[in-house]
């Protein structure tokens, strides 16, 4: 009995114009999405590689380890082909300087603003917006449409259980939607292979999970459509209701949730944090300079009783120590500033985390944002990407400067500064050290970006995936309940 | 005769459940967009003022002008950009001003707060683009074939009414029926800024009005398109399906794909390449200058002050020369990239304009000053400011560029001399001159014209097809 | 009375007249083959025939919803495809399922169609109510939305639209199908009174009983051809149903 019903449903769908339209649109869109993603990823990768190489070349031209400044780049993740997430909104690189906090800047959208106007298109977007709409189209009239055409009555003049009827409806339309989805998706994956996108086994696993979640998401809209169709008498009404809910779930609720969270849990802007850091750092430097001045005055006093010869001798003896002392003080200040800014950013991060969590909790009312969060987590392009990346860069920062300090001791390079001496005898003289030996970067640690591990990714996405399952279950239950009380006339 | 059809269309639309629901939804959303936009703007202003004040505050207590570093200027937030986001959340809004350095705008809102980037903002542009177009389809997808299905078309044409008047009345009627009620939330929304304490200038009112006008033009285009599809298809269910697919493509797919593909077709050098070139050029010059400095021999003498002055003049000379060279070099590189970018933008947007919705986005962004030009404008203004700032600093410090000088002197001289702090208020204020309203409006005219053409073209197709329509 | 009208018939020109009317659709189907009929003012003509015999095509041709392949469908002497707008002023049309604007009340529907028929000047809304009352719709349902109406009420609305238009000719496409006997009876009475006002009525129907009751002339259409045409007087005492069935099965 169940089989008969499912077969009828499937046949009915496949024969209809909806199926043809969906199949066509899905194929075009999914393939287009994957193609655009691949083209874009390749371009990003090329840009990344050039940038890293140029940075390396520049490093090799530097003369000293003590004023090491470089830039470290975020490597594009092939998962961005499928789920762009925030990967184009957050910066691509951070400047590394000893006393500067890590801050990702130069986002793809701010550098190439032309792409920001209409944003990007990826597989996730197509699923979230287009496929959900098609899912609604598949089931919006599955119950009330049959009532309108009179077939519902006819079916129930036979010994059919309502429960099995609605489940068969669901199963049939699910299969009907799965066919136009699976075929282009598989073709898309073939394209990925064909274009030699560097996907690791982990990536494939995550991709598979993402596709599963996507199917779950479409299933929700199928079940939801079924539910609304079983709750209304006329198909035009159910469609209107569904369309309004679709707009609300996909477009309104998430945005409104984020805006509400911004209002409920305000966060200081980066500019404000930066200026606080600046204030701190300038006060530290002021202290340092004052200290230096005091030291030199103290030294002068110490030498006050000496003759000119003795003074000169004293200076020569202590010159190295003094220099080292001042260098140490400088380093201390830099470390202090570095720690402070790290602390400030940590604090900012905490506040942001709070706001973000609130925003996401609110937005999860809509299955669309649960889906979005799940897939971004699976792809590793979630809002945590910035923090993760900055964290990795900060660790790299530490190891790099540890290395630089070590190297500096071992092979102090040339000094890029200019020494100006004013002497009452020789007048003003300058000297720029001719030592133009460049540093040897061969042993320098490289920045290696670690992708989040599979278990990490699954843990992050689990909440939202489970939530999606719950939504599907609720919608199905709702459909069954509504239909069991449906007036067949 | 047209009047009768218009009137009937009006009453029929306004009396339907469809209209009640969508009107309620639209009203809520429009009001929400206005409210959220204004609050967002106020937030932005608050942050902007705070950053600006902080920027000056951190200079307080400095003794010497040459200690001033990391002086920032900010792109002031404007009310309209909260209503029509454009790229205002993607472009950097802060520029660090140093004399002679390469200007770079950093700190975009989305980059700083990716949580907002995930879902984007709910602004007026979004409402017009997504919600209203969807409703246009919903209202007109069955305007002709639906009447045929219901049988009213036969009855209507058993009366002496020309087909041309009928279709014209249909279009006018459904347009007026939806637009007039929509004016209520729109005008209420427009009242919100002054009520919530955000004053708009005359130019801003004009531009806001034009944004709304182009939104209505977009609505009209979708309405005409829906009528057209409804004339071309037999059954209303199939016309709806066709329209939904068209909607997805026009709103969501074409603009994105067009830009990505067209822009990738035009190669532009990446910013990293440019940065690397610039810095290696700068380093090269620096090395050359080091040689020069190394060879410096003063004219001697015993007057310390005179010696210092002489040296400083020498350094200023070198630096001025270097700055000129780097400026020239950087400007050339930037211009090359900019030119390629312009080609890229033209190609991308030209292609995207086949979608009315993309045309609307471009028109609205240019009216709200949130188009790509805003970024260039900001950088240009900052460049001009940099010159003023540079002259001011030269005047104050006598040093041509931001050198950090650590003076180690004999100490006994300067002791006890209490120096007065500098007054940060003396720094010239950055005044962002925006594109004039006239220019803004002029920039949006082609796109608005295109929207009008879309309206007319869709309607013309519907019109001529309907003249040969089988009303049975 | 009867003889008066018959006399009048010979004096006046026919209001509706099909002359060698032929329609062949684009797909080659011959829907109407050389049909000739005339309806005079104050007379009713009933077309009988199976589904797809060409009855609706005839009506479509009179309304110029389609152009004839050959011949003419004349209204008041004017070929309908020569001046469709002019002839549409002169005919009213009532379909099998009167479909009006469901979100409008009866008065609103009537108002719209009355204005559409060219009566926008000097037209009062009260007139709508008078007409509605005349067709048998009570005051309490004048302002109800049409979607709450039963089929009989909708048909009455349809005839009200035809009445208010005041056109000299009325085309009805199976107007009584699906009506209960009482509603059909009232409907026929209404038609009778319209005929008495001197209007020419052309109706297609399956209902032999009603046709016989109301029609002055009866024609049987089969596969696009008029196979029989007799006046009421000629049919006096004959079994119309038998004649019809004989024609249909090809015995005659």
Average the pLDDT over A261-265 and give the result: 83
Average pLDDT of A375-381?
A: 90
HEC string for chain A: CHHHHHHHHHHHHHHCHHHHHHHHHHHHHHHHHHHHHHHHHHHHHHHHHHHHHHHHHHHHCCCCCCCCCEEEECCCCHHHHCCCCCCCCCEEEEEECCCCCCCEEEEHHHHCHHHCCCCCCCHHHHHHHHHHHHHHHHHCCCCHHHHHHCHHHHHCCCCCCHHHHHHHHHHHHHHHHHHHHHHHHHHHHHHHHHCCCCCCHHHHHHHHHHHHHHHHHHHHHHHHHHHHHHHCCCHHHHHHHHHHHHHHHHHHHHHHHHHHHHHHCCCCCHHHHHHHHHHHHHHHHHHHHHHHHHHHHHHHHHCCCCCHHHHHHHHHHHHHHHHHHHHHHHHHHHHHHHHHHHHHHHHHHHHHHHHHHHHHHHHCCCHHHHHHHHHHHHHCCCCHHHHHHHHHHHHHHHHHHHHHHHHHHHCCCCCCCCEEEEECCCEEEEECCCCCCCCCCCCCCCCCCCCCCHHHHHHHHHHHHHHHHHHHHHHHHHHHHHHHCCCCC
Domain housing A137: 2-267+447-484
Of all residues in chain B, what percent carry a pLDDT higher than 90?
17
pLDDT at res. B414? 43
Give the model's confidence band at B417: pLDDT under 50 very low, under 70 low, under 90 confident, else very high: very low
Which chain C residues have a beta carbon less than 8 Å from that of B162? 85
B-chain residues near A106 (CB < 8 A): 106, 271
| Gap between the Cα atoms of A260 and A361, Å rounded | 11
Q: What is the mean pLDDT of the segment spanning B102-108? A: 80
- Nearest residue to B62 via CA among A289, A419, C30: A289
Record: contact C112-B8, CB cut-off 8 A: yes
3-state secondary structure of B269: coil
Which residue of chain C is at minimal alpha-carbon distance from B1? C116
Q: Is-contact B252 B358, C-beta < 8 A?
A: no
Per-window interface: A 27-56 vs B, CB < 8 A: 29, 32, 36, 39-40, 43, 47, 50-51, 54-55
What pLDDT, on the 0 to 100 scale, is given for residue C147?
84
Average pLDDT on A346-374 reads: 89
Question: Considering the domain boundaries, does residue B39 fall inside one?
Answer: yes
Question: Is B165 in CB contact (< 8 Å) with chain C?
Answer: no
Residue A422 pLDDT more than 70?
no
CA distance A444 to A163: 68
Interface B–C counts its CB contacts (< 8 A) at 72
Of A129, A247, A427, the CB nearest to B307: A427
Q: Which of A279, A360, A363 sits opposite B58 (nearest CB)?
A: A279
Nearest to B34 by CA among B42, B22, B24, B23: B42
Query: What pLDDT is attached to residue A36?
Result: 86
pLDDT exceeds cutoff 90 at B12: no
Residue indicated by tokens 């769908």: A13
How does pLDDT run across B193-209, given as a tens digit for each residue?
Answer: 888 888 888 889 999 99
CB contact under 8 A, A125 and B252: yes
Mutate which: B97, B243, B272, B302, vs A, most A CBs within 10 A: B272
Count structural domains, chain B: 1
Q: Do chains C and A touch (3 or more CB pairs under 8 A)?
A: no
Cα–Cα distance measured from residue B399 to residue B441, given in angstroms and rounded to the nearest whole number: 44
Closest-CA distance, B294 to chain A, in angstroms, reads 5
Exposed, middle or buried by CB within 10 Å (0-12, 13-18, 19+), for C8? middle
Residue B15 near chain C (CB below 8 Å): yes
Q: Which residue of B has its CA nearest to C86?
A: B160
Say yes or no to pLDDT of C252 above 70: no
Digit-coded pLDDT (tens) for C106-137: 888 888 888 888 766 666 778 888 889 888 88
CB contact under 8 A, C95 and B151: yes
> Distance between CA B343 and CA B353 in Å, rounded?
15
Q: Is residue A351 in some structural domain?
A: no
pLDDT digits (tens, 9 = 90+) for C12-51: 789 999 999 999 988 888 888 889 999 999 999 999 888 8
- Which of A23, A86, A124, A271 is the best residue to mutate to test the B interface, defined by the most B CB atoms within 10 Å of its own CB? A271
Contact residues on chain A for B283, CB-CB shorter than 8 A: 58, 61
End-to-end alpha carbon distance in chain B: 21
Question: In this structure, are residues B188 and B31 in contact, taking their beta carbons and an 8 Å threshold?
Answer: yes
- The helix, strand and coil proportions of chain C, stated in percent and rounded to the nearest 5, come to 40, 25, 35
Confidence at residue B397, expressed as pLDDT on a 0 to 100 scale: 74
Domain membership of residue A415 (yes or no) is no
Q: How far apart are CA A48 and CA A4, in angstroms?
A: 56
Would you state the structure tokens that stand for residue C240, as one six-digit string?
Answer: 């119309």
Per-residue confidence (pLDDT) for residue B223, from 0 to 100: 93
On whether the CB atoms of residues C132 and C144 are closer than 8 A, the answer is: no
Among partner residues B264, B294, B299, which is closest to A430 by beta-carbon distance?
B294
The CA dihedral of A266, A272, A274, A279, to the nearest 10 degrees, is -130
**C154 chain-B contacts, CB cut-off 8 A:** none
ipTM attached to this prediction: 0.81
Mutation target among A24, A113, A246 for the B interface, most CBs of B within 10 A:
A113
Q: What is the mean pLDDT of residues A105-131?
A: 83
pLDDT in tens, A182-234: 999 999 999 999 998 888 888 899 999 999 999 999 999 999 999 999 999 98
B33 in a structural domain: yes
Cα C1 → chain centroid? 23
| pLDDT value at residue C121 | 64
User: CA neighbours within 13 Å on the CB side: how many for C118?
Assistant: 16
Chain A residues whose beta carbon lies within 8 Å of the beta carbon of residue B238: 17
Token pair 């792409």 is found at A115
Minimum CA–CA partner of C121 in chain B: B1
Q: Average model confidence (pLDDT) for chain B?
A: 84
Contact C65 B150 (CB under 8 A): no
Subunits in contact with chain B (3 or more CB pairs closer than 8 Å)? A, C
Across the range B333-358, mean pLDDT stands at 88
A352 interaction partners in chain B (CB closer than 8 Å): 113, 115
A75 has a chain B CB within 8 A of its CB: no
| All domains of chain C in start order, with CATH | 2-97+164-248 (3.40.50.300)
* Å between B39 CA and nearest CA of chain C: 41
- Considering the domain boundaries, does residue A323 fall inside one? no
Nearest-CA distance C145 → chain B (Å): 10
Express each pLDDT in B52-95 by its tens digit: 887 887 777 677 777 777 788 898 898 888 888 888 888 888 88
Residues B253-311: tens digit of each pLDDT: 888 888 888 877 888 887 778 887 887 888 788 778 877 777 777 666 667 777 777 77
- The shortest CB-CB distance from B15 to any of C85, C103, C161 is to C103
Tell me the per-residue pLDDT of A148-180, one tens digit each, with 9 for 90 and over: 888 888 788 777 888 888 999 999 999 999 988
How do residues B211-242 score in pLDDT, each as one tens digit? 999 999 999 999 999 999 999 998 888 888 88
Instruction: Scan residues 386-445 of A and list those with Cβ closer than 8 Å to B.
Output: 386, 416, 418, 420, 422, 424, 427-432, 434, 436
Q: Using a CB-CB distance cutoff of 8 angstroms, which residues of chain A are in contact with residue B296?
A: 429-430
Window 415-434 of B, Cβ < 8 Å to C: none
| Domains identified in chain A, total number | 1
Question: Does A271 touch chain B if contact means CB atoms closer than 8 Å?
Answer: yes
CA-nearest residue to B8 within chain C is: C112
Per the model's pLDDT, the better-predicted residue between C157 and B64 turns out to be C157
Q: What was the pLDDT predicted at A213? A: 95
Average pLDDT, chain A: 85
Residue A353 falls inside a structural domain? no
Q: How far apart are CA B173 and CA B2, in angstroms?
A: 9
Is A355:A261 a contact under the CB 8 Å cutoff? yes
- Partners of residue C88 in chain B, C-beta under 8 Å: 157-161
Taking only residues 212 to 251 of chain A, the set having a beta carbon closer than 8 angstroms to any beta carbon of chain B reads 236-237, 240, 243-244, 247, 251
Residue pair A101/A277 in contact by the 8 Å Cβ criterion: yes
Whole-number Å distance between alpha carbons of A276 and C178: 84
Would you say residue B421 lies in a domain?
A: no
Considering the domain boundaries, does residue B215 fall inside one?
A: yes
Partner residue opposite A130 with nearest CB, options B86, B112, B248: B248
- The answer to whether residue A122 is domain-embedded is yes
Please list every residue in chain A whose beta carbon sits closer than 8 Å to the beta carbon of residue B361: 117-118
Percent of chain A at pLDDT > 90 equals: 20
Tokens of A171: 């199963």
The pair of three-digit structure tokens given for residue A22, joined into one six-digit string: 């969906």
Stated as kind and residue range, the H or E segment containing C213 is helix C208-214
Q: How much is the pLDDT for C6?
A: 44
Q: Subunits that touch chain C (at least 3 Cβ pairs < 8 angstroms)?
A: B
Pull the structure tokens for residue B179: 């637009």
The chain B residue lying nearest A128, using CA atoms, is B252
Per-residue pLDDT at C81 exceeds 80: yes
**C to B contact (≥3 Cβ pairs closer than 8 Å):** yes
| Residue A364 counted as domain residue | no
- Span B157-197, pLDDT tens digits: 888 888 899 999 999 998 888 888 888 999 999 998 888 88
Mean pLDDT of A50-73: 81
- Please tell me the predicted confidence (pLDDT) of residue A436: 58
* Cβ–Cβ gap B272/A369 under 8 Å: no
Residue C241 to residue C208: CA distance in whole angstroms: 7
CB contact under 8 Å between B159 and C102, yes or no, is no
Res B459 pLDDT > 80: yes
- B98 pLDDT higher than 60: yes
| Number of Cβ atoms within 10 Å of the Cβ of A294 | 11
Domain span including residue B155:
1-402+426-472
CB contact under 8 A, A93 and B272: yes
Q: Which helix (H) or strand (E) holds B128?
A: none
- The tens digit of pLDDT for each residue in C190-218 reads 889 889 989 999 999 888 888 888 889 99
Domain-located, residue A118: yes
Q: Does residue B125 lie within any of the structural domains? A: yes
Work out the average pLDDT over C132-159. 87
- Average pLDDT of the residues in C131-157: 87
């Amino acid at each position: 009995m169940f089989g008969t019903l499912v077969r009828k449903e499937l046949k009915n769908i496949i024969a209809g114009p909806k199926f043809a339209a969906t199949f066509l649109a899905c194929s075009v869109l999914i393939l287009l999405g994957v193609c655009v993603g691949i083209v874009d990823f390749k371009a990003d990768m090329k840009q990344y590689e050039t940038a890293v190489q140029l940075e390396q070349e520049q490093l090799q031209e530097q003369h000293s380890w003590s004023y090491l400044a470089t830039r470290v780049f975020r490597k594009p993740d092939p998962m961005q082909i499928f789920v762009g997430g925030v990967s184009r909104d957050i910066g691509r690189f951070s400047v590394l300087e000893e006393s500067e906090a890590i801050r990702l800047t130069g986002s793809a959208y701010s550098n190439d603003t032309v792409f920001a106007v209409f944003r990007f298109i990826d597989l996730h977007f197509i699923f979230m917006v287009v496929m959900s709409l098609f899912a609604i189209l598949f089931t919006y009239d599955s119950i009330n449409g049959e009532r309108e055409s009179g077939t519902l009555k006819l079916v129930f003049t036979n010994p059919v259980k309502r429960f099995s009827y609605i489940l068969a409806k669901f199963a049939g339309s699910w299969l009907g939607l799965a066919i136009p989805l699976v075929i282009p998706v598989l073709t898309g994956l073939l394209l990925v292979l064909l274009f030699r996108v560097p996907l690791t086994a982990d990536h494939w696993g995550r991709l598979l999970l993402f596709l599963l979640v996507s199917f779950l998401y479409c299933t929700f809209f199928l079940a939801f459509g079924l539910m609304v169709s079983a709750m209304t008498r006329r198909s035009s009404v159910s469609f209107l209701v569904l369309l309004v809910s679709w707009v609300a779930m996909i477009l309104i609720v998430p945005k409104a949730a984020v805006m509400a969270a911004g209002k409920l849990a305000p966060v200081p802007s980066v500019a404000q944090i930066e200026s606080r850091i600046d204030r701190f750092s300038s006060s530290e430097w002021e202290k340092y300079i004052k200290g230096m001045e005091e030291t030199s005055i103290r030294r002068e006093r110490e030498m006050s009783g000496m003759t000119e010869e003795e003074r000169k001798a004293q200076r020569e003896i202590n010159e190295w120590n003094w220099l080292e002392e001042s260098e140490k003080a400088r380093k201390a200040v830099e470390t202090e500033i570095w720690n402070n800014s790290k602390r400030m950013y940590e604090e900012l991060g905490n506040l942001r985390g709070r706001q973000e969590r609130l925003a996401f909790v609110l937005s999860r009312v809509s299955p669309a944002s649960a889906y979005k969060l799940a897939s971004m987590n699976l792809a590793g392009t979630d809002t945590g990407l910035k923090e993760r990346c900055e964290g990795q860069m900060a660790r790299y920062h530490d190891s790099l400067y540890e290395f630089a300090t070590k190297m500096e001791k071992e092979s102090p390079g040339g000094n890029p500064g200019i020494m100006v001496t004013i002497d009452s005898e020789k007048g003003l003289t300058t000297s720029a050290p001719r030592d133009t030996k460049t540093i040897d970067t061969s042993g320098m640690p490289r920045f290696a970006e670690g992708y989040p591990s599979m278990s990490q990714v699954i843990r992050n996405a689990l909440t939202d995936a489970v939530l999606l399952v719950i939504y599907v279950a609720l919608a199905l239950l709702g459909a069954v309940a509504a239909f069991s009380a449906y007036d067949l006339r | 005769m047209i009047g009768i059809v218009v009137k009937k269309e009006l009453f029929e639309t306004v009396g339907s459940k469809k209209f009640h629901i969508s009107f309620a939804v639209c009203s809520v959303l429009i009001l929400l967009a206005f409210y959220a936009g204004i609050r967002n703007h106020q937030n932005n202003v608050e942050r902007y003022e705070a950053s600006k004040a902080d920027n000056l505050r951190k200079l307080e207590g400095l003794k010497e002008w040459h200690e001033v570093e990391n002086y920032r200027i900010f792109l002031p937030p404007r009310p309209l950009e909260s209503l029509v986001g454009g790229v205002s959340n993607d472009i950097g809004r802060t520029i660090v001003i140093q004399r002679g350095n390469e200007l770079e705008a950093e700190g975009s809102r989305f980059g700083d707060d990716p949580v907002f980037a995930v879902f984007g903002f709910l602004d007026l542009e979004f409402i017009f683009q997504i919600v209203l177009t969807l409703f246009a389809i919903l209202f007109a997808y069955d305007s002709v074939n639906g009447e045929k299905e219901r049988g009213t078309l036969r009855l209507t044409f058993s009366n002496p009414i020309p087909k041309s008047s009928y279709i014209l009345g249909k279009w006018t009627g459904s347009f007026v029926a939806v637009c007039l009620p929509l004016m209520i939330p729109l005008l209420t929304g427009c009242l919100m800024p002054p009520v919530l304490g955000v004053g708009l200038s005359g130019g801003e009112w004009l531009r806001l009005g034009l944004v709304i006008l182009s939104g209505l033009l977009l609505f009209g285009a979708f309405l005409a398109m829906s009528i057209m599809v409804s004339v071309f298809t037999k059954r209303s269910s199939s016309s709806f399906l066709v329209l939904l697919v068209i909607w997805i493509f026009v709103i969501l797919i074409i603009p994105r794909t067009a830009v990505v593909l067209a822009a990738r077709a035009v190669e532009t050098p990446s910013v990293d390449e440019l940065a690397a070139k610039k810095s290696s050029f700068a380093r090269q010059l620096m090395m050359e200058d080091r040689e020069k400095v190394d060879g410096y021999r003063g004219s001697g003498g015993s007057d310390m002050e005179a010696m210092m002055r002489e040296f400083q003049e020498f350094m200023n000379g070198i630096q001025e020369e270097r700055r000129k060279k780097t400026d020239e070099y950087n400007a050339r590189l930037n211009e090359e990239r900019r030119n390629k970018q312009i080609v890229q933008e033209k190609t991308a947007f030209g292609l995207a304009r086949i979608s009315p919705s993309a045309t609307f986005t471009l028109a609205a962004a240019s009216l709200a000053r949130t188009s790509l030009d805003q970024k260039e404008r900001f950088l240009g203004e900052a460049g001009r400011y940099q010159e003023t700032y540079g002259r001011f600093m030269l005047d104050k410090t006598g040093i041509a560029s931001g050198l950090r000088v650590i003076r180690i002197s004999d100490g006994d001289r300067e002791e006890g001399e209490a120096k007065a702090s500098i007054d940060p208020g003396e720094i010239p204020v950055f005044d962002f001159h925006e594109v004039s309203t006239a220019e803004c409006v002029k920039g949006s005219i082609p796109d608005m014209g295109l929207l009008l053409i879309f309206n007319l073209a869709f309607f013309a197709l519907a019109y001529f097809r309907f003249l040969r329509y089988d009303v049975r | 009375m009867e003889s008066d009208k018959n006399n009048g018939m010979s004096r006046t020109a026919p209001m509706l007249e099909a002359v060698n009317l032929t329609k062949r659709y684009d797909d080659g189907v011959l829907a109407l083959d050389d049909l000739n009929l005339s309806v005079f003012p104050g007379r009713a003509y009933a077309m009988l025939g199976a589904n797809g015999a060409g009855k609706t095509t005839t009506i479509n041709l009179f309304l110029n919803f389609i152009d004839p392949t050959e011949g003419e469908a004349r209204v008041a002497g004017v070929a309908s495809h020569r001046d469709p707008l002019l002839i549409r002023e002169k005919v009213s049309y009532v379909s099998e399922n009167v479909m009006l604007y469901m979100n409008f009340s009866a008065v609103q529907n009537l108002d719209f169609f009355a204005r559409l028929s060219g009566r926008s000047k000097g037209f009062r809304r009260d007139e709508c109510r008078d007409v509605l009352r005349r067709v048998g719709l009570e005051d309490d349902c004048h302002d109800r939305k049409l979607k709450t109406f039963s089929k009989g009420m909708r048909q009455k609305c349809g005839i009200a639209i035809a009445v208010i238009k005041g056109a000299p000719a009325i085309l009805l496409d199976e107007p009584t199908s699906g009506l209960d006997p009482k509603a059909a009876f009232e409907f026929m009475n209404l038609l009778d009174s319209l005929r008495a006002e001197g209007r020419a009525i052309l109706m297609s129907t399956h209902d032999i009983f009603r046709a016989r009751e109301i029609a002055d002339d009866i024609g049987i259409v089969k596969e696009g051809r008029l196979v029989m045409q007799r006046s009421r007087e000629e049919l006096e005492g004959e079994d119309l149903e038998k004649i019809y069935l004989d024609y249909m099965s090809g015995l005659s």
